[in-house]
Structure 1
Amino acid sequence: MDRILKIFVSGAEQDQLAEQLPVIESYPGFLLVKLQQEAVTDIATRYPVEDITAQYVIRVGQRQIDTGLPRIDEHAKTRTHPDYKGVKKLSPGNHHYLVQFIGPVKKQWLSEVTRAGGKLQSPASGFSYVVRANESSLKKITTLPFVRWSGHLCHSDRIAQSVMKYAKRKLNETGAELPRTLVLPGLYIVDFFDSESMKKAAKEVKALGFEILESDKPARLMTLRATTGSVAKRIRELSAVHGVRNIREHSLKRTSNDLSPRLMGATQILDSNNGLGLDGAGEVVAICDTGIDTGDTSSIHPDFKGRISKINSYPIKRFYSPYINNPGGDDGAADYDSGHGTHVTGSVLGDGTASDGLDGIEGPIRGLAYKAKLVFQAVEQEMQWKNAAYYQSIGRYLLSGIPSDIQTLFKDAYDNKARIHSNSWGGGDPGVYDTQSEQLDRFVWEHKDFCVLVAAGNDGSDNDGDGRINPMSVTSPATAKNCICVGACENERPNFNGNRYGNWWPDDYPVAPYKDDPMANNPDQVVAFSSRGPTTDGRIRPDVLAPGTFILSTRSTMIANNNTAWAAFPASRKYFHMGGTSMATPLAAGAATLVRQYLRRDANIAKPSAALIKAVLIAGARRLPGIAGTGTLADNDQGFGKIDLQAVLAPRNSASMEFLDITDGLETGEIWSRELMISSTEIPLRLVLAYSDYPGENLVNNLNLIVTSPDGTRYSGNSSVDGDLTMDATNNVEAIQVNEPALGSWRVEVVASNVPESAQDFALVVIAALDEPAENSMVRVTGNPDISIPDNDSEGISDVLTIDRKGTVSSIAVEVDITHTYIGDLILELVAPNDIRVVLHDRQGASTNNINKRFDVHSAPELQLLVGSDITGPWQLLVSDNAGIDTGSLRSWTLEILAEASTWVEAEAEPALPIPDNDTTGITDDIDIIGQNNSQGNVQELEVWVDITHTWIGDLQVNLNSPSGTTVQLHGQSGGSRDNLIAIYDLDILPAISAFLNTPGAGTWTLSVSDNAGRDTGKLNAWGLRVKL
């Protein structure tokens, strides 16, 4: 059987290999080839490879399409296909087709499809897109050389499985597949590909017997109610209406119903005396939930007073109108029913004011981010049901204020400066990515610094009685890719050991080990009811865990006196205990808030991305024992593990941390890389890559994390600990852990394996025994821009490589790979971070083709000018074509620098020179600074000191002049009648010294001293310099 492989090679090596193998397509960082099985083993022993054969299967709905067999041939003729059995012939006109490409998608391919008349609708799995086209356009598209397969997106694949399963539900049947999911009979959500199609479809939808209750044009959503006739038949007819993308039942969203800081490794993080002193100050958190205490800032619970930025109440959505007597009702933001929203808020940011002085507690009952400000969004409303049975089956209060497009919630929060958003609610079909999941992903994709946390849900169940919690019970919007999905582990409260899962929920936990298991005695156990992954496309769920049983937090003063939730708190009616992933999520949101505060305050990252906050929480997460096999990095019970803030923000061992937000995105085939120096084998190397993906049911933009050890061993993201090179094409979070990393230089690479949408940015967290690269160590960075060089354009093109370590240039070389049919047209220049420009190639070579060359101080002597320069910062390669006719492209280039570590150089002088009175010329004295190995390094830091005796220092002016000619005034006739000037000047004391930074430091430094008034005299006794080069 043939296999399709990625072979990770670039530049000249790629060209050589391409002559030997059958190449499907080439990319800057890898080749795509098709090989027979017996040839795979041989090539894999010589190069890093990934077998992507299985990635060509297209998944639609609950089934997969085999694209190894044609459905529509190169003449746009429909062929028989086993996955299209019984499908009727299409009518003339526009339809929606799945168009699969030959491999990872290139931007120019999408442009060609558009030029052929196709309209790109949305990315799909298996290197494919949904494209709207008519017969004429389809014929052009199928003949494009990079199109591998095409077939109609069947109407039946646009209907959620649960819709047909429950099509015959009766008026009082509100249950669904998961035990805690509820629906309103006959209520459906229809998602359209575009708003134009939705508008045109309205008449046809009504003709099929559906009542349109709401039409949201920006969200491309219709909410419908089936009124007459066979529902199943009309749903099938509805799926064939042009533009319909998906049909689902409207699931009712529901809530996902101290000691926690210690269990989350936050004690040291919160300690202001011996720890980091994080408290959420300066951060704004938004919470969407039932309500908050009185809903009035003037009478609000004491634990929130003075820190509420905004409270909004969202009225009942109009599509409930046929079912209730109070359409559009709004009972305000008070928390009347369960107290759920008030409890959640306390876990995020309550400050414990009302618990001050209470007996029986070790400290205040407060949330992790107890100084953060709050934006609260109340979405629970009282429902006046027309059908009285719904009071029993659904309840009097419902989260009926949640908008059809939840981007409304996110925008309101974002506009009020919230950057953390906590959601302890959800519901829907198990594991399904629905419209709310897509809305969440879209908002975060467009607002990269907005971090959304969502409860996994409480649908974990062993109702089949096999002693294991059933998989795939997580629901929307926790199925989104760009949120932090939070599951629950147990709390540690032995006084509640009498409360057991089987006693509370006998149908869900009928047998051991859960039936008689206490719910709060083992913080290293996943809570039985915590919803499990994966999603239907196989993504890991949840991301992390936080405590979720018997959580003590704030109690609403508006609920009934006898409402004690999970358990009362005898010392005060201002608090009580609740449980659920609802309670775990605000604890995780508090942790995320502290992470954001740390990144802004301590790591100097002004606008940390949501991806970086997610990566930090996962990097510190601790695996719970006994759940999955040894070496497993993540599973669908606990995700990556329980949040442990100390492990990542203040490690107990001597590990170092690096937090990187890489905003320059990668295109398909590009590779970002950097070097790590590991200084100890006793501290594990742990890396986490996270990114906010383009909205879509499957992973759209696929980045992969690869780490290479000093001996060449490669590790890839989400393989087992110390695992092999197996790439993950499903998740937008990848982790690598090497328990005993070898000493020396490790290479980290992020590979853009498939990026059909806009360039993908990412975040990376590293925890390890990190060291600055050794003196005289080699720094090697590579760019694979693969960009065209415009013909006869002196401005040309540029590409940038950034070096983020310290040091100075000892030697330097540049390797370039340029294809061009007349290199005598080309000028190549290298621009260093200090703006020194070096010409590498100046129109030599006449009609010779291509430049595949290494430039060093021998072939490009001007590179010697860069010796001693700082290596830190952006290095730019400029390429221009200065004559007509011939064209080419910059495929790749590499910067190789032998770096010297920065060193302090000290020198002093004792001139003992008299300072002439009332003489503006004054005196001067020189000190020569000699760089290491006589290099001409730039100034990174500077200290200068002077020892001058004088009876009136207000007469004196003292200046320092550097080897570059820069002059800074150290003392300017200040100090009045005081005697003697004995002082040290550095950047903190005299900011003007910054003028010397990044200028040459080796050479002659001159101190000048003048007396600018009569009568008083003095002497320059001594002075000195301390310069870091």
Structure 2
Amino acid sequence: MRNAFIEGARVAGAVSLLSLAVCPVCAARAADGLDFTIRLANGVIEPMAAGGADSRAGMAGRAIAPDARSPEQHATTRGTVPMIVQFAGPVEEGWRRAVAGAGAAVHGYLPNHAFIVSARPESVDALASVAPVRWIGEYKPAYKISSHLDEDAMFGTKSRLRTNIDVDVARSNVAVRIITFTPADADQAAAYAAHAGATVLLTSRGPAKGYVRARATAAQIQEMARHAEVEWIEPYIAPRLHNDVSAQAPRMNAQTVWAAGLTGRGQIVGHADTGLDTGVNNATLHPDFTNRVKAAFGLTPGRGGAWSDLNAHGTHTAGSILGNGSASAGQFRGIAFEAQLVHQSVGDSGSSLPGLPDPIYPLYHQTYTNGARIHSDSWGSSAAGAYDAEAQNTDQYMWDYKDMLILFSAGNDGVDANGDGVVDPGSVGSPGTAKNVLTVGAAENARAPGSGGLTAYTWGQAWPADYPAEPVKSDYISRSADNVHQGMAAFSSRGPCLDGRVKPEIVGPGTDVVSCRSSATSGTGWGVYNARYLFSGGTSMSCPLCAGAAAVVRQYYAERSSHTNPTAALVKATLVNGARTLSYGQYGWQQYREIPPLPRPNNVEGWGQVDLAPTLLPGTGRTNIAVDRVTLATGTEHSYSLAVGGSNTLSVTLTWTDYPGTFAAEAKLVNDLDLFVIAPDGRTNHANGLVYGDRVNNVEGVDLDPAAAGVYTIVVRGHNVPQGPQPYALVMREGAPFTGPRLSIETNIVIVAMAGSTATVNAVMNNTGDSNLSFRLEKSAARYSWTDSTQPGGPAFEWINIVPTGADVTPLSDDGVAGPYAIGFPFVFYGTTNTQFWVGMNGGIMFQPGPLPYLNEPLPTASVTGSLIAAFWDDLDPSSDDVSPAIKRLSDSNQLVVSYLHVPRFGSPLSNIFQIVLRKTGEVLMQYRTVTGTRNSCTVGIQGSAPGDKAVEVVYNHAYVQSNLAVRFDRTPDSQWLSVSPQNGTIAAHGSAMAVLTATTAGLTDEVYTASFTAFQSSPYPPETVSVTLIIPEPLTLFAAIALLMLRRADRR
């Protein structure tokens, strides 16, 4: 029964998607470059290619799909069905109103340029007559089902998701949440579920949606999706506490702002947790909460309104927010120790949270009506990056109440499952996956081994199955592995979200945090400090510390600026802007680098660890400017000028509280703003380290270090605002320059040498920092670059049919490898000549025997023992009985083709058709004829077998691969003529060293050659790539070459 849900959800998905023509992105681009594909969570459709689309007279350039008039699903009792209405471009403010005026109820936004609406089928002509409408089609039942309900992981056989999906294997049912377009439809949806045979557990209504929790089989899920009231069906994952695996002020730089009077005074923080000590606001309550509790509510069923803490979790987290330290003479104060608390007890004596309402919306509002403008939540579900109902509900609340900042712990699902010594990505939990919340990860604290709590343990001793490999295995839980650089807590859940958004945004200390102890339980957390305090750890502990920091920031604005009621976006922007990167982390700057290099952000630490003092008190002569509550629509922009004095850094952060995302959309961002910073020399800096606009995140930032003196222009632009107008917050701050080690080296070098000679050039390497810099120089070996058929100059998709003449790859098995087979010609891959290959059933070929595991990983991977060409590395099953799969191979003296034909994922009847082509020239081509089912689970790329070979990863578990796509990998020539020395070394503070470049031209002709080498550095900054050009002139043109060299040097000056 492991494949029951696959059979249900994906069959319908395949029919629906293919009927609307799953097409390459390039086919959907208009002449002006706009992308008109509609990108769903479960596939991509090209509307105008839909078979039978009706383009009527008087509606040129517009089409109506037949299913808009004859839908697959049952209409609502109002006679309406959900449809997709696509516009002619980025959505202008009046277009949505025009569609509503034509009789449609407008629901969620879908990229690109589309909305889900509810309308009567007979009204589609009126909708199509609205001037900007481009296409109308049905929002089909298959689009409504989460891809997580399609995974064999639900049945526990090959789990790729670290989730708590509640599956009853014996009864073949799963706990699901059914979401309706309107609150009023919840009862009707529950009736449909019961009629289909599902067990209805709970029916509820939020302000915008209806919700039904049920247990259902695959067939029942399919039947429920055929009702027009239903918008989405997803697995229900129960929330739990995030301490199953903090700190105090020193690592968050809080004492300085305390001394300046910033203690959270006047702020009220909401707090949903297991309870608060005795649960009586009198002398029996922990003394650290004296005069701190404004209100408290007991929400757990069966406890009669009691709010005592039977677990010890809630008392501990509340102390980190605002405990005043009375029982420790101020030693264990919370970050905002003069703020007040509105507490909600939602737990029991275990880790369950039965007091949480479903939907979650009223939880926040109860504290809001009691004055809270910050809400701290150290719990969540193991959603593995998914955007679910709780995430959307939280986004809805923050959209409705834009001055309420909600913080969530990221989760404790960070593990090193593949044993490569680096914690795996993609484990952040919900509601931490919500766009608008501030999601908090955990860094290591600073406590000596054996000083209490779990300090005497290493990660490998405490959780040997999760951290089996060095260097994580032997790292003490609360002490830096190198005794210098602060690092991450290994358990801290990493991003990205499934749609590619960066999470967490910030981190705070989360191991062996000391905070208040509940006297109503014998629970001792990670260990007893004394009768009043406990050690504990988890993102549960880092989140309340950051919530306290948010209260301090809010006090700062309320008392010291014109923003007396700052929005959540402004408080969030301020914390993000001033966060301190921990890159490169505690495990070195090479193979086991823990945190990626700058620029910010990354999916390990987000923007960094909260650092209050420089955030709020940047220092004399440094500017700190905030903008709040200004709005943008599509196509409009605002510009700000900022004079920078030089020698400082400049950090600019843009955040906005976005409209709630649409469940069925691939990307959850709705209103898309862009940030640009134009330097005094006219150079434009895009946000988030990109060379174009960010299309997934609602936090954008530019960091310039150093920032040259002059006037900067900061531009905020409304790229696409379908649910506008969109308010935003902007923080511009000058900071102290980075004083750590940093490498500076000339990045373009020209060598002129006669044929048959040797020439040497020295490249100066400078360390601009105040401490020693280690470096490593690595000449680029054979390298590969990639391009695809959607890009200018990319390969054309031209499927090679080898079915009539190709040989079968046998035997076909679930996770096996077949071979060896002859390539047919010498194929050079990463400098190694290969004559035979092996075929991995899970979507790739190799040049050595060995497994290609079902659990795909990022590249490079140690799970494959050598070279790998991964066209669609995922849990595939060519031995499936559900379809008739085959793998064919055909080679001649110039080309090898390996085609995977109708190969499904494990347990799924939906098949994929793709091929790998190797050419004697060294080119690698991957072509995808048909891609069905989820698009955000596979690895595409290549890797070599030698340690110096640079893997090229096209995608890992993101929606990229699609039908009719071609991807080509091209090999750059070897650079045997260049040698670089020394291989490594150290440069003293403010010192310099020489990189010696030697060109040997023996055997080379009179030409121009190019090569490169990379200078890696022990710094938060990325490695520097140095391009080297060798010119071998004819004797009579030597002087011309010398002149060219001098001219280039003059240009650089």
Pairwise TM-score range, normalised by the shorter structure: 0.5 to 0.7
- Select 1:559's aligned residue among 508, 515, 521: 521
Structure 1 pair 181–493 and aligned structure 2 pair: CA distance change class (3 A): farther
User: Aligned pair 1:65/2:35, yes or no?
Assistant: no
SS in 1 for 2:194: helix
Matches within 5 A, 1:500-511: 500-511=458-469
1:703 match: secondary structure: strand
Match of 1:608?
A: 566
- SS state of the match for residue 127, structure 2? helix
Distance 1:707 1:352 in 2: 43
The superposition leaves residues 360-417 of structure 1 with CA deviations (integer Å, 9 ceiling, x where unpaired) of xxx52111111111110000136xxxxxxxxxxxxx5520110002221111101111
Q: Is the 8 A contact 2:508 2:609 kept in 1?
A: yes
Compute the displacement of 1:301 (Å).
0.5
C-alpha displacement at 1:77, in angstroms? 7.7
Determine if the alignment matches structure 1 residue 119 to structure 2 residue 105. Answer: yes
Contact 1:706/1:716, CA 8 A, preserved across alignment:
yes
| Preserved contact between residue 706 and residue 749 of structure 1 (Cα < 8 Å) | yes
| Counterparts of 2:287 and 2:166, CA distance in 1 | 35
The one-letter code sitting in structure 1 at the alignment partner of 2:279 is G
Whole-angstrom CA distance in 1 between matches of 2:253 and 2:498: 33
Correspondence for 1:223 among 212, 216, 219: 212
Distance 1:146 1:294, change over 3 A: same
* Cross-structure match for 1:535: 497
Deviations 1:207-254 (A, max 9, x none): 111343332233533333337xxx111111111122111112221111
Partner of 2:342: 375
Q: Give 1:669's aligned residue.
A: 635
CA separation of 1:205 and 1:77: change in aligned 2, threshold 3 A:
farther
- Cα distance change of structure 1 residues 67 and 686 upon mapping to structure 2, 3 Å threshold: farther
Tell me, yes or no, if structure 1 residue 207 matches structure 2 residue 188: no
* Deviation of 1:206 (Å): 2.0
Residue in 2 that maps onto 1:304: 289
From 667, 676, 689, give the equivalent of 1:719. 689
Q: Are residue 132 (structure 1) and residue 92 (structure 2) matched? A: no
Within-5 A mapping of 1:30-179? 35=31, 53=34, 56-67=36-47, 69-70=49-50, 72-75=53-56, 89=72, 94-142=80-128, 144-165=130-151, 177-178=161-162
Deviation at 1:616, TM superposition (A): 0.5
Change (3 A) 1:405 1:90: closer
Which of structures 1 and 2 has the bigger CA Rg? Answer: 1
Whether the 8 Å contact between 1:331 and 1:381 is mirrored in structure 2 is no
- Contact 1:210–1:224 (CA under 8 A) maintained in structure 2: no
Separation in 2 of the partners of 1:683 and 1:584?
Answer: 30
Map of 1:924 onto structure 2: none
Distance in 2 separating the partners of 1:489 and 1:168: 31
How far apart are 1:58 and its partner, in Å? 2.8
- In 1: Cα distance, 2:476 partner to 2:97 partner: 59
AA aligned opposite 2:185 = S
Aligned CA distance change for structure 1 residues 224 and 620 (closer, same or farther; 3 Å)? closer
Q: Secondary structure of the equivalent of 1:762?
A: strand
CA–CA distance in 1 between the matches of 2:66 and 2:465? 47
The residue number in structure 2 matching 1:474 is 428
Distance 2:64 2:385 in 1: 33
Partner amino acid for 1:646? A
CA distance 1:95–1:203, change in 2 (3 Å): same
1:436 aligns with 2:390: yes
Does residue 685 of the first structure (1) align with residue 650 of the second (2)?
A: yes
- Aligned partner of residue 303 in structure 1, secondary structure: helix
Rounded Cα–Cα distance in structure 2 between residues aligned with 1:114 and 1:352:
56
The equivalent position to 1:488 in structure 2, one of 439, 442, 454, is: 442
Distance (Å, rounded) in 2 between the aligned partners of 1:304 and 1:769 = 36
Could you state the TM-score of these two structures normalised by the residue count of structure 1?
0.62
Q: Assess if the C-alpha contact under 8 Å between 1:176 and 1:182 holds in 2.
A: no
1:313 equivalenced with 2:298 (yes/no): yes
Q: Specify the alignment match of 1:708 in structure 2.
A: 678
**What is the rounded CA distance, in whole Å, between the counterparts of 2:708 and 2:715 in structure 1?**
18
User: Would the aligned equivalents of 1:654 and 1:769 in 2 still touch at CA under 8 Å?
Assistant: no
Q: Whole-Å Cα distance in 1 between the matches of residues 144 and 266 of structure 2?
A: 45
- Secondary structure of the residue aligned to 1:248 is strand
How far the C-alpha of 1:196 sits from its partner, in A, is 3.6
TM-aligned CA deviation for residue 331 of structure 1: 7.0
Offset, 1:166: 6.6
Q: What CA deviation, in whole Å up to 9, does each residue of 1:894-917 have, x standing for no partner?
A: xxxxxxxxxxxxxxxxxxxxxxxx
> Given the alignment of the two structures, is residue 649 of structure 1 paired with residue 616 of structure 2, yes or no?
yes
Shift, 1:165, TM fit: 3.5
Alignment of 1:985-1024 (within 5 A): none
Moved more, 173-182 or 346-355: 173-182
Residue 282 (structure 1) aligned to one of 266, 274, 290: 266
Spell out, residue by residue over 1:39-93, the C-alpha distance to the aligned partner (whole angstroms, 9 max, x if none). Answer: xxxxxxxxxxxxx745x44332333334563464435987699xx9xx9955686
| Percent of matched pairs sharing the same residue | 33
User: For the residues of structure 2 that align with 1:517 and 1:614, how far apart are their CA atoms?
Assistant: 32
Q: Deviations over 1:98-125 (max 9, x none)?
A: 2222221012222332233322122222
Partner residue in 1 for 2:186:
198
SS of match in other structure, 1:398: coil
CA distance in 2, matches of 1:120, 1:88: 18
Cα distance change of structure 1 residues 550 and 588 upon mapping to structure 2, 3 Å threshold: same
Counterpart residue type for residue 459 of structure 2: Y
Q: Aligned in 2, Cα 1:224/1:90: closer, same or farther, shift over 3 Å?
A: closer
Q: Shift of the alpha carbon at 1:658?
A: 0.8
Residue 176 and residue 747 in structure 1: after superposition, are their counterparts in 2 closer, same or farther (change >3 A)? closer
CA 1:533–1:293 in structure 2 vs 1: closer, same or farther (change >3 Å)? same
Residue 264 of structure 1 corresponds to 252
**Letter matched to residue 549 of structure 1:** T
TM-score by length of 2: 0.60
Residue equivalent to 2:539? 581
Q: Which has the higher contact order (CA 8 A, sep 6+)?
A: 2
1:513 aligns with 2:499: no
Alignment of 1:747-786 (within 5 A): 747-768=713-734
Counterparts of residues 806-817 of structure 1 (less than 5 Å): none
Give the conservation status (yes or no) of the 8 Å contact 1:668–1:753: yes
Q: Provide the residue aligned with 2:369 in structure 1.
A: 415
Q: What is the aligned length?
A: 669
Pairing 1:311-460 to 2, within 5 Å after superposition = 311-316=296-301, 328=302, 330=304, 332-337=306-311, 339-356=312-329, 364-381=331-348, 396=350, 398-460=352-414
1:451, distance to aligned residue in structure 2 (A): 1.0
SS of structure 2 residue aligned to 1:588 = helix
Match of 2:602 in 1: 635
Q: Which amino acid aligns with 1:336?
A: L
Aligned CA distance change for structure 1 residues 712 and 68 (closer, same or farther; 3 Å): farther
Contact 2:414 2:490 (C-alpha < 8 Å) held by counterparts: yes
CA RMSD of aligned residues (A): 2.9
**Could you give the per-residue CA deviations for residues 924-982 of structure 1, whole angstroms, max 9, x where no partner exists?**
xxxxxxxxxxxxxxxxxxxxxxxxxxxxxxxxxxxxxxxxxxxxxxxxxxxxxxxxxxx
Q: Write the deviation string for residues 836-865 of structure 1: whole angstroms up to 9, x where unpaired.
A: xxxxxxxxxxxxxxxxxxxxxxxxxxxxxx
**Which residue identity lines up with residue 309 of structure 1 in the other structure?**
K
2: CA distance between counterparts of 1:107 and 1:656? 35
Note closer, same or farther for the CA distance 1:729–1:73 as it changes in structure 2 (3 Å cut): farther
State how far apart, in whole Å, the 1-side matches of 2:175 and 2:687 are.
42
Q: Please say which of residues 465-474 and 64-73 is displaced more in the overlay.
A: 64-73
SS in 2 for 1:599: helix
Residues 74 and 142, structure 1, Cα contact 8 Å, conserved in 2: no
Q: Contact 1:168–1:232 (CA<8 Å) still a contact in 2?
A: no
- Structure 2 unmatched ranges of 5 or more: 1-27, 57-61, 585-593, 663-667, 737-1053
Q: 1:154 to 1:500 in 2, by over 3 A?
A: farther
Q: Is the CA contact 2:153–2:160 (under 8 Å) kept in the aligned structure 1?
A: no
Task: Say whether residues 1:595 and 2:553 are aligned partners.
Answer: yes
* Structure 1 residue 260, shift from structure 2 partner: 2.8
The answer as to whether partners of 1:285 and 1:419 remain within 8 angstroms in 2 is yes
Q: Is the 8 A contact 2:325 2:331 kept in 1?
A: yes
Which sits farther off after the overlay, 479-488 or 427-436? Answer: 427-436
